[in-house]
Every structure is written in C-alpha cells, then in structure tokens.
Amino acid sequence: MSDVLAAEGLRCALAGRPVLDGVALHVRPGEVLALIGPNGAGKTTLLRALSRLLRPLAGTVTLEGEDVWHIRPRPLARRLALAPQGAEMWPLTVEQFVGLGRAPHRGWLLPLNDEDHQAVQAALERTGLIPLRERQVTELSGGEQRRVILARALAQQPRILLLDEPTAALDLKYQAAILGLARRLAHDDGLSVVITLHDLNQAAGVADRMALLAHGRVLALGTPNEVLTAELISTTYEVPVVVCRHPLDGSPLVSLVGEHPHMH
Amino acid sequence: MISRLRLRPIVWAPILVVSLVLVGILSLGVGAVWLAPSEVTQALLAPSSPETRPTAVTIVWDLRLARVLLAALVGAGLAGAGAAFQGMFRTPLADPFVIGASGGASLGATLAIIGRIGGVGVPFAAFAGAMLAVLLVYGITIASGASSATALLLAGAALSTVLSAIVSLLMLMSDRDMHEIFSWLLGGLSGRSWPQLLMSGPPLILGLIGLWFFARPLDALTGGEESARSLGLPLNTARAAVVAAASLTTAAAVAAGGLIGFIGLAAPHIARLFCGSSHARLLPASALVGALLLVLADSVARTALAPIELPVGVLTALLGGPFFLWMLGWGGQR
C-alpha cells in the first residue's frame, strides 16, 4: 500500500536541543495512526515537522511522494491540516474562526462563497458546534475551544489530518465523539488521521496502528496489540503496568499496578 | 473587552455614517462665523441658488469643507492603521506609530521647517520621513534574520527613540523655529485646506482600501504565527503587505495633521465593543469611529478657546485619555 505521508531519518531540534533523532514513519490512506509516548518524547514536534511548521535538521517529509518543503504553503494547507494543541484563541466568532480554514481554498483576499459556507457548516455540524456558532471563541470553555480548532482543520477539507491531543480537556462524551469522528473520517472518507494521545486505552480504541515514541525515536510501530505490551510500556514510561483485554472487543487495556513512582 | 453590545453591520454601519454626516454638517457651521445647519446644508447642496448667502458658500466651500473632510480622512486613516497594527502585532497597545512612523515624520517635518521649505514641503517631508523610517525598521528586522513580529516592534521602538532624540536636539539648536516645530509635533489641522486634502487624501484612501483587502490575513495573523502558517499564509508577504498599507495610511495622515495621538489607539477599541474582532468589520468600523472622533475633536479645537485654536492632538489626548480609561474599567478589560 502506498504511503500518503512519510518521514525518513527525521532529526529536529528545538532551541538547539535535539528532540527528534532519526524518526521514520509512514502513514497509509484511510488509517488512524496514534502517536503515543511519555511527555517530551517528541510527539508534538513530530506533528509540526510533518506539517512543515518546523524545518528538520536532517531527513525528509514527503506527501504523496513530494517533499513537503517543495509544496507551497497554501496548496499544502489544502491537503494537510493540523489541529494544534496549544492554539491561541482570539475574539472571533466560532463561525469566523472556522471560516479561516477556507483560506487555503478561497485565497486570502476573496470573500468566502457558498461552497465555503457549506464546508464551514459541515465542519460545525460534525463537531457539534452549531449552537455555538455566533459565540466568541474566547468566551468558550477549553473543551469547546478544542472542538473549534478541530472544526477549523476540518474546514480545510484535507486528505491528511494531524490532531494533537484532541481529547485533552474534553468531557467523556466529547472524547468519544472526537475519537469516533476520527475513525469515521479515516474509514468512511478515506482520510489519513495522525493523532497524538496520552490515554493509551483511548489510543488502542481509536487506532489502526500506533507508534510509540520516546527520546525522539520510534520504539515500536504496529497494531495496538503489538505495541501495547506490558514490557514495552513499563520500560518506556518507567511505571509497572499490566495489559489485559477489553471485555467487548478484545483490544488491549493498560493498567497501572503496584506502587506508583513518587515525584522527587 | 465586553462583547454583549455586539451589533450587526446593518445596524452600526448606517448609524456611524449618518452620525458622521451630521457631525460634519455641525462642524462646517462652527468657527469665527457660526452658520446654522440648515444654511450649511443649503450652501453644500445648492451653492449657486439665489437664496443662498454668498458668504455662507465661501465659508463652507473655501474655508471649512476641505478641513472637515481632511479631519474625517485623517481620523479614519489613523484608526484603520491602528486596528491593523493591533491585530498584526497582537497587542492592544499598538497604535499607527508603533513601528517608527512618528519619529520619521517628526524628523522629516523638523528638517523641512528648519530648512525653510514652505508650502507643501513640510507635509511632504513628514510623509517621506515616516515611510523611510518604517522601511528602515522593516529592513533592519529582515536583515537581522529575526522574522517575528516582536522583532519588528522592538526595532520600531528603538528607532523612534533615536529619531525623537535627534528632533529634540534640532529643536534646541534652532531657537527661532522651535515654536513652529513644537506646534507641528502637537498635531493639528489649523490652516489645512484643499492642497493638503488633495495631497494626503489619495494615499490615505488607497492604504485604507488595501488594509481592508488584507482583512483575512490579519485575522489569521492575530492568531499567532504558527497558526497562520498552518493555514498556508505566506507570513512574510502578508506582514509586508499590511505594513506597507498601514504605513502609507499613517504617513499620509501624519503629513496632513501632524502627530495626532490617541485616535489610532482608542478608535479600534471602541469599534471592537460593538462589531467584534473580525478585521473585515473591525477595519471599516474603526475608520468610521476614528473619523467621527477627529471631526468632533477638531470642531472643539476650533471653538473651545476661540479665537485661539487648540492643537487637536492636545485635545484628543486630554479628552480621550480619561474617556479611554473609563471605557477600559467599564468594559471589565482583562
């Protein structure tokens, strides 16, 4: 199967500190790929490198065989969208904010047309934001803002969607809704979805494949069953865990055991 | 800022336009000779009618109309540029002079006054000085390899300080011109007429229209650089375009009215109260508010201490400052 998005030998540094050290990653069409790993493993940096926001020191990122650094910013934003975690909000209405996701299609100078308004409407519907469309994004709760950022990425109508911690700050209902949406986008609409998650069980539930990152390297890449082993997770996260089976679908469930490490 | 007052453009746009026309008519009536609004309207609409007093026509058309139009345009330009810079630099403290336009304009005007270049020499030198200063700030920032908006702000602040110091030095060294330089620095529309309007009007309007075209890039820039880039905005091109349009507007406004403070800072904040922060609406709303404020202020400047004219820049700061503080408190500003 051909890869939509591929990273090879990716090395990145932030303020001189190496963060990614030779990452190789291949994203297939129509799959959800979850990136997991401890804090500081380089998950967000990897998403930034994949979306051409961070220039790597070495290695390449290719989008359907083309080096992303050879693609102009606007065409790239039509094919690939990032829903960042720490996005800054400013007082636009939800609809205006999500409408910015249409700029890659409409250009920066022309007003939005019917097609754009339909795309915005669809993005608002899929993220449950219709009742909030006239509200200022700065007045929304953290969880609502996460959905606004996701909606803006959806309005870009990309083939590849990169989601950085999309379920952080969301209540259980919207966690389930966002993960369900990610799966539908991949399996029904054929998008490639790369998603970083801290909750390993959520990751196991949503992902077709997962990549375990630590210290800027991919330690394991495969199905949730292959990656979420007690040995691999215990050593990577430096906590003792057991892995059992989900009673309904048999997917792996990771649980802490024994004494939890103290903060020193 | 509070946002509960938010109105639709269909509401605020007509209100502001009608208010501006009414205030403009009142402003045309005040001065050494007072004219009733009805007489002003008649002189405007039917100057050649036998029922219109010829003196009224002369006063309105030859003495006051250009100045009122210029006040409206300068107010609109300062407010529009202020709104754009506040968005692009993502700080509510930004005003049109934030990247060096005021320092450059002051130095240009000062040199022209000292060099005895009369007529449109002073406004032209102010315009050129403002544009050169902004170009220099932009050039330094690009050359230093720093690509952030913050670097641009810092370079602007640094250059402004240097230029102001040079202006102060020049003032000290040329006693006889000190008064004229000082009154230019205070900002005012005294004695401005058609030549100044014809000179400053076109670049001012051009810059404002340009800014309005860049409304969506400004919206994206307000969200930060990374966010704008991930939407495919060519960051440097967008910034250069905004700086060019806003500086053209500012330079033309400064050339016409000198350093009129406060309007460019406050008008966008007032506009945000009712129209929100989307630049497609904020820019025209700010421009209308700025025009309204400066036409009002200029009317007061002409009449408050008649026959002495107050520098309008002093007035905007004197009346506007406390008003702005009150507004911030009332709005529950963070």
Q: Which chain A residue shows the shortest CA-CA distance from B217?
A: A108
pLDDT at residue number A90: 79
If phi over 0 gives left and psi between -120 and 50 gives alpha, with beta otherwise, what is residue A250?
left
Average pLDDT in the B5-22 region?
89
Q: Quickly state the pLDDT bin for B4 (edges 50, 70, 90).
A: low
Q: In this complex, do A90 and B222 lie within 8 Å of one another by their Cβ atoms?
A: yes
CATH number at A5-256: 3.40.50.300
- Kindly state the DSSP code that residue A21 receives in the 8-state scheme: E
Please report, rounded to a whole number, the percentage of residues in chain A having pLDDT higher than 70: 97
Question: Is residue B1's pLDDT more than 70?
Answer: no
User: Which value does ipTM take for this structure?
Assistant: 0.87
- The structure tokens listed for A230 are 């007690």
pLDDT 10s digits, A233-263: 999 998 889 899 888 888 899 988 876 666 6
Q: Which chain A residue shows the shortest CA-CA distance from B220?
A: A100
B149 neighbourhood in chain A, CB within 8 Å: none
pLDDT 10s digits, A149-177: 999 999 999 999 999 999 988 889 989 99
pLDDT 10s digits, A42-63: 999 999 999 999 999 999 999 9
Question: Is residue B334's pLDDT more than 50?
Answer: no
Residues of B with CB under 8 A from a CB of A: 1, 3, 90, 213-214, 216-217, 219-220, 222-224, 226-227, 229-234, 238, 272, 276-278
Question: Is residue B261's pLDDT more than 70?
Answer: yes
Q: Nearest CA of chain A to the CA of B250: how many Å?
A: 22
Please report, rounded to a whole number, the percentage of residues in chain B having pLDDT higher than 90: 50
Instruction: Provide the 3-class DSSP secondary structure of residue A17.
Output: strand
Which residue of A102, A108, A109, A162 is the best one to mutate when testing the B interface, meaning the one whose CB has the most B CBs within 10 A?
A: A108
pLDDT at residue number B178: 87
Contacts 24+ apart (CB under 8 A), B33-42: B33/B59, B35/B59, B35/B60
Mean pLDDT score of chain A = 92
pLDDT 10s digits, A175-190: 999 999 999 999 999 9
Question: Is residue B114's pLDDT more than 80?
Answer: yes
- Give A23's strand partners: A10
Q: In this complex, do B227 and A88 lie within 8 Å of one another by their Cβ atoms?
A: yes
pLDDT at residue number A263: 64
Q: In this complex, do A109 and B232 lie within 8 Å of one another by their Cβ atoms?
A: no
Q: Which chain A residue shows the shortest CA-CA distance from B238?
A: A108
Which residue of A14, A90, A154 is the best one to mutate when testing the B interface, meaning the one whose CB has the most B CBs within 10 A?
A: A90
Average pLDDT in the B92-112 region?
89
Burial class (CB in 10 A: 0-12, 13-18, 19+), B124: middle
Q: Considering only the beta carbons, identify the residue of A74, A91, A92 that sits closest to B232.
A: A74
Instruction: Give this prediction's pTM.
Output: 0.89
A133 neighbourhood in chain B, CB within 8 Å: none
Q: Nearest CA of chain A to the CA of B199: how many Å?
A: 28
Q: In this complex, do A108 and B238 lie within 8 Å of one another by their Cβ atoms?
A: yes
Question: Is residue B89's pLDDT more than 70?
Answer: yes
pLDDT 10s digits, B271-320: 998 888 899 999 999 999 999 999 999 999 988 887 888 888 888 888 87
3-class SS letters over B229-264 = HHCCCCHHHHHHHHHHHHHHHHHHHHHHHCCCCCHH
Instruction: Provide the 3-class DSSP secondary structure of residue A255.
Output: strand
pLDDT 10s digits, A9-34: 999 999 889 999 999 999 999 999 99
Cβ neighbours, 10 Å, residue B117: 14
Q: Considering only the beta carbons, identify the residue of B3, B219, B229 that sits closest to A100.
A: B219
pLDDT at residue number B73: 97
Question: Is residue B170's pLDDT more than 50?
Answer: yes
Cβ atoms of residues A42 and A218 within 8 Å: no
Average pLDDT in the B127-138 region?
92
A156 neighbourhood in chain B, CB within 8 Å: 231
pLDDT at residue number B304: 85
Question: Is residue A264's pLDDT more than 70?
Answer: no
Residues of A with CB under 8 A from a CB of B: 48, 51, 53, 72-78, 81-82, 84, 87-93, 96, 100-101, 103-104, 108-109, 136, 139, 156
First and final C-alpha spacing in chain B: 8
Instruction: Provide the 3-class DSSP secondary structure of residue A36.
Output: strand
Domains in chain B: ranges and CATH: 9-330 (1.10.3470.10)
Mean pLDDT score of chain B = 88
B272 neighbourhood in chain A, CB within 8 Å: 91
Q: In this complex, do A74 and B214 lie within 8 Å of one another by their Cβ atoms?
A: no
Q: Nearest CA of chain A to the CA of B91: how many Å?
A: 11
Highest average pLDDT, of A50-59, A239-248, B53-62, B182-191, comes from A50-59
pLDDT at residue number A192: 96
Q: Considering only the beta carbons, identify the residue of A53, A89, A93 that sits closest to B230.
A: A53
Q: Which chain B residue shows the shortest CA-CA distance from A50?
A: B230
A157 neighbourhood in chain B, CB within 8 Å: none
Average pLDDT in the B149-175 region?
90
Question: Is residue B177's pLDDT more than 90?
Answer: no
pLDDT at residue number A133: 92
Cβ atoms of residues B261 and B317 within 8 Å: yes
Average pLDDT in the B166-171 region?
92
Number of Cβ pairs < 8 A linking chain A and chain B: 75
